[in-house]
């Protein structure tokens, strides 16, 4: 068995962030009566949120903004697209979103089954995630997959972010793992795959959305079920 340690990403890889975020924002849309405040179309609001969130996360990964700014600004900017300049409302939405989101438990198809399969084959499973410490632990607890992972390394806990080499080195050290017996599995070509490659790790690109990459990973799969052909 070439690999002993399998390092998974969480959001968009195992935990279905888009489904869980959309359900959470739909709840906020209704409970905070955003339609009456001027947000006339939830689907449009959700699309704008996703666009702002992606751009702000890129800025956060590159060290241009702090997490507190990311959390509130994605709500502020989405509201401003509807000409709503309400800072207290954005702050309230941010707080409620962070409270509710980790309670969601939607996983990608076959996520729990593949973790059970890999554990049964005596692989040691770990997480490397750019998410926030408390929130990520709530996610894996509430979705019933926490017991599969030996080490959970977050950007907050490691004081680094994927794709930086430092977070991969931190995770390897925490797991007591060697590079040659370890592999990274994730959906983000830059953060997970290229980051792991630069850190000297093999990679599995979990390409849920059938994207054409401009970088050749060690392996590519299009569903979690396909991991059984590798491990």
Mean pLDDT of the chain, nearest integer: 96
3-state helix, strand and coil shares in percent for the chain, rounded to the nearest 5? 55, 15, 30
Do 159 and 49 have their domain in common? no
Question: Distance of alpha carbon 152 from its chain centroid, rounded?
Answer: 13
* Residues 117, 209 within the same domain: yes
CATH of the domain at 181: 3.40.50.1000
Contacts of 10 (CB under 8 A, 6+ apart): 127, 129, 131, 136, 139, 140
Total number of domains in the chain: 2
Question: Six-digit token pair at 57?
Answer: 């996360």
For the entire predicted model, the pTM comes to: 0.92
Averaged pLDDT, 105-114: 98
What is the three-class DSSP state of 185? strand
Phi first, then psi: give them for residue 157, nearest 5 degrees: -70, -30
Same domain, 135 and 189: yes
**Exposure of 130 by Cβ count < 10 A (0-12 exposed, 13-18 middle, 19+ buried)?**
buried
Q: Which residue has the higher pLDDT, 131 or 187?
A: 187
Q: What is the pLDDT of residue 136?
A: 94
Interaxial angle between packed helices 42-61 and 67-80, expressed in degrees from 0 to 180 and rounded to the nearest 10? 150
CATH of the domain at 23: 1.10.150.240
Judgement on whether residues 50 and 135 belong to the same structural domain of the protein:
no
pLDDT(132) > 90: no
Are residues 68 and 124 located together in one domain of the fold? no
With vertex at residue 90, the alpha carbon angle to CA 85 and CA 91, rounded to the nearest 5 degrees, is 130
- How confident is the model over 177-231, as pLDDT tens digits? 999 999 999 999 999 999 999 999 999 999 999 988 889 999 999 999 999 999 9
Q: Is residue 63 over pLDDT 90?
A: no
The confidence band for 61, taking pLDDT boundaries of 50, 70 and 90, is confident
d(CA 142, CA 104): 7
Select from 142, 197, 123, 121 the least CA-distant residue to 16.
Answer: 142
| Statement to judge: residues 199 and 143 lie in one domain | yes
Same domain, 116 and 77: no
Task: Please give the residue range of the domain that contains residue 98.
Answer: 17-103
Q: How far apart are CA 91 and CA 227, in angstroms?
A: 41
> How high is the pLDDT of residue 139?
97
Given a contact cutoff of 8 angstroms between Cβ atoms, the answer to whether 202 and 179 are in contact is: no
Q: Angle at the Cα of 87 (from 84 to 93), degrees rounded to 5? A: 90
pLDDT higher than threshold 90 for residue 1: no
């Amino acid at each position: 068995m070439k690999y002993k340690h399998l390092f998974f990403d969480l959001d968009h890889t195992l935990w279905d962030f888009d489904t869980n975020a959309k359900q959470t924002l739909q709840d906020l849309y209704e409970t905070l009566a955003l339609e009456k405040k001027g947000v006339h179309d939830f689907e449009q609001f959700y699309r704008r949120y996703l666009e702002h969130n992606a751009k702000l996360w890129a800025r956060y990964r590159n060290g241009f903004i702090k997490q507190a700014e990311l959390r509130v600004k994605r709500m502020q900017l989405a509201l401003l697209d509807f000409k709503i300049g309400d800072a207290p409302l954005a702050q309230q939405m941010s707080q409620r979103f962070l409270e509710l989101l980790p309670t969601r438990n939607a996983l990608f198809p076959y996520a729990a089954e593949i973790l059970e399969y890999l554990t049964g084959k005596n692989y040691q499973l770990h997480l490397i995630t750019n998410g926030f410490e408390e929130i990520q632990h709530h996610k894996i607890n509430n979705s019933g997959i926490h017991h599969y992972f030996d080490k959970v390394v977050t950007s907050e806990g490691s004081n680094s972010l994927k794709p930086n080499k430092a977070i991969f080195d931190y995770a390897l050290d925490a797991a007591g793992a060697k590079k040659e017996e370890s592999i990274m599995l994730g959906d983000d070509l830059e953060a997970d795959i290229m980051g792991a490659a630069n850190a000297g790790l093999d990679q599995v690109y979990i390409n849920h959305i059938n994207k054409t990459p401009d970088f050749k990973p060690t392996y590519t799969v299009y569903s979690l079920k396909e991991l059984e052909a590798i491990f």
